[in-house]
Structure 1
Amino acid sequence: MSPLPIIFLKTKSSPTDPYDKYFAENPLEIAGTTYNAENIFVPVLQHQHINLSQLEKLVLGQNSEYHGMIITSQRAVEALGAVLDKHRETQEFLKITKVYVVGPATCTAVINLGFSASNVLGKECGNGKVLSQFILEDYNTCCESAATDRLPLLFLNNEKRGDIIPKSLSGVEEHRCVPLQELVVYETKVVNCFSEEFAKAMEATKGQERWVVVFSPTGADAAWDVLRDGINKEEDDSETFWASIGPTTEVHMIEKIGKRPDVVAARPSPEGTWNGIRDFMLKKIEQN
């Protein structure tokens, strides 16, 4: 068996992290060699909820009128949950509100808040571009079939959200555009000790084939700053490979830091990421 260091640029979820669990329980069998993941978590971001009073008014106020919501991150789910926890009489809201999500983890988290599973849509989409197309079709079909007003969707996000969803929903024919209202419900910043902890992880795995899994554009920037500043300048990075959790982070890495990730997960999930790494390693061995 061969250890394969996997440096996850994220906080390890508690009590169980799905990436830690899946990677540990699914060793890779490649060309007669068994690779066991050596999981290393380096927290990148810390989050703080903001605008919760405004969120409360928008979703539970008397004049609240939305076709539904868009939630694409666990942090946005937590912010909404903090508002809903204050109200015990939200059953009707939870029962009738449609929520568009971008993947299975967010879907599960939204359902756990109490929303009807049949109204939580998009878990198979995997990224913002695919979700946008799904929303366009579903929203316009609903409005046309029910002859209802084209009420806006409420998009809960953070101050660093990408433009894919807003641009996709507005960049179509006027009669198909989806009205959107955005609200920033959490803000992020890089944790103070990230540079030190990431440098330690890189030093501890020096000389080994290893993977760095990036979950956000901010995480990519923070990691690249550490390497650019020369903390590991003596290291040959030919055995360091990069995996992006999705296309948004991939585009950012290419355009902003000039680094194309070796793997982009087909779906933003442990399985999608691990399968991408397996396929890359298998192809690499076959080419050699």
Structure 2
Amino acid sequence: MPPTETPILLLKTRSSPHDGYDDFFTGNGYRPSFIPVLEHRFNAHNLADVRDLFASGAFNHDQGQDQNNGKACSKVRDTKRKYGGMIFTSQRAVEGFANMIEEKGLPYASSTPLILYTVGPATARTLTTLRDKHLPSATIYGADAGNGENLAHMILQHYNSIYSGFEEEYSKPALLFLVGDQRRDIIPRTLMGSALPSKDRIIVEEMVVYETGEMESFEGDFRDSISGYADANEIWVVVFSPSGCEGMLRVLKLGPFVQGEEAGQKRKAFIATIGPTTRDHLRNKFSFEPDVCAEKPSPEGVAEGIRRFRESRAKA
């Protein structure tokens, strides 16, 4: 059994209005702490443009769709409807969108069907709160996708099943993808891939709604947090992105920063990554193998990885 309230340091900004990692770990024998690594600055101009798209009718119902079930029933669509849905793969993008709505309101026909695609359960939970208050006719899809590549293939199947009557990608509404300035292109590349039949391609338009930079104070903040757990028998550090990895390893004196007299000492700080991208960054740049790589980017995925690691150590 894990010790009561094992410290778990989450290298991320605590999400608002609630954080799934905080909720989960607090109730499952851990004491979570958040150490922000990245500083996010919302792009107010582009978020205002998103609101203007709603005001202009860009998300209004397509005249060529069945009003009852959203199924496309005509090859000719109302050109007023530019987008049939939105894609969110970042908690920050959801927060920027939510902040804009709370501050400015959302001019939108609430009866219009709208699809909100999301990549994981944490983002889906925040979107659900937003949907219930402001977008009651919207549906959320993709909470179990796990990563952008899986979500892209799920969108291809799901969105094309809705617009099965359209033979060209330009005849069905595009999807609006709210992103940060640092992102992978797997989703637009997959949905608009030239290898796809033209009828299956889905136009994706990206809108940068936040910018990201590493916080200058991170390394000092992390060192202060670690020093507060000097008496703990076991500490877990969960890394959510390549940013901050170097500072984290330097503070813990791991990987290339391990000192000779400490190389053989028993470690009490263990590292879990939220997924393979961060794991591979630690491997390739620092020759460091994290103790856990979550199979799913979720609190449950991290906890399951830790459980397996503990079982493996107990048997060794």
Fold-level match, TM-score > 0.5?
A: yes
Q: 2:217 aligns with which of 193, 200, 215?
A: 193
Q: The residue matched to 1:249 in structure 2 has which SS?
A: helix
- Cα 1:194–1:279 change in 2 (3 A) is same
Match in the other structure for 1:161 = 183
Query: How do residues 134-213 of structure 1 correspond to structure 2 at under 5 angstroms?
Result: 134-145=154-165, 149-171=171-193, 172-175=195-198, 176-205=200-229, 208-213=233-238
Q: The residue matched to 2:243 in structure 1 has which SS?
A: helix
Match in the other structure for 2:147 = 127
**2:81 aligned with 1:57, yes or no?**
no
Normalized per residue, which structure has more helix? 1
Q: 1:90 aligns with which of 104, 108, 112?
A: 108
CA distance in 2, matches of 1:117, 1:133: 24
Q: Decide which moves more: 7-16 or 44-53.
A: 7-16
Deviation at 1:7, TM superposition (A): 1.6
Which digits, 9 at most, give the CA deviation of each residue in 1:189-228, with x for residues without a partner? 2223211111223344458432210122324355346567
CA distance in 2, matches of 1:17, 1:144: 37
CA distance in 1, matches of 2:100, 2:18: 25
Q: The residue matched to 1:216 in structure 2 has which SS?
A: coil
Q: Decide which moves more: 51-60 or 96-105.
A: 51-60
Contact 1:43/1:194 (<8 A) preserved: yes
Deviation at 1:238, TM superposition (A): 4.0
CA distance in 2, matches of 1:68, 1:255: 37
Q: Any unmatched runs of 5+ in structure 2?
A: 59-80
Deviation at 1:252, TM superposition (A): 3.6
Give the TM-score normalised by structure 2: 0.75
CA distance in 1, matches of 2:55, 2:289: 43
Match in the other structure for 1:7 = 9
Q: Decide which moves more: 218-227 or 101-110.
A: 218-227
Q: Any unmatched runs of 5+ in structure 1?
A: 28-36
RMSD: 3.1
CA distance in 1, matches of 2:40, 2:127: 18
Query: How do residues 71-86 of structure 1 correspond to structure 2 at under 5 angstroms?
Result: 71-85=88-102, 86=104
Give the TM-score normalised by structure 1: 0.81
Contact 1:69/1:99 (<8 A) preserved: yes
Contact 1:214/1:243 (<8 A) preserved: yes
Deviation at 1:117, TM superposition (A): 6.9
**2:302 aligned with 1:273, yes or no?**
yes
Q: The residue matched to 1:39 in structure 2 has which SS?
A: strand
> Which letter maps to 1:163?
D
Higher relative contact order (CA 8 A, sep 6+): 1
Contact 1:55/1:185 (<8 A) preserved: no
> Which letter maps to 1:194?
F
Paired positions, count: 277
- Cα 1:135–1:24 change in 2 (3 A) is same
Contact 1:70/1:154 (<8 A) preserved: yes
Q: 1:26 aligns with which of 22, 25, 28?
A: 28
- Cα 1:181–1:262 change in 2 (3 A) is same
- Cα 1:26–1:88 change in 2 (3 A) is closer
Identity of aligned residues (%): 37
> Which letter maps to 2:51?
E
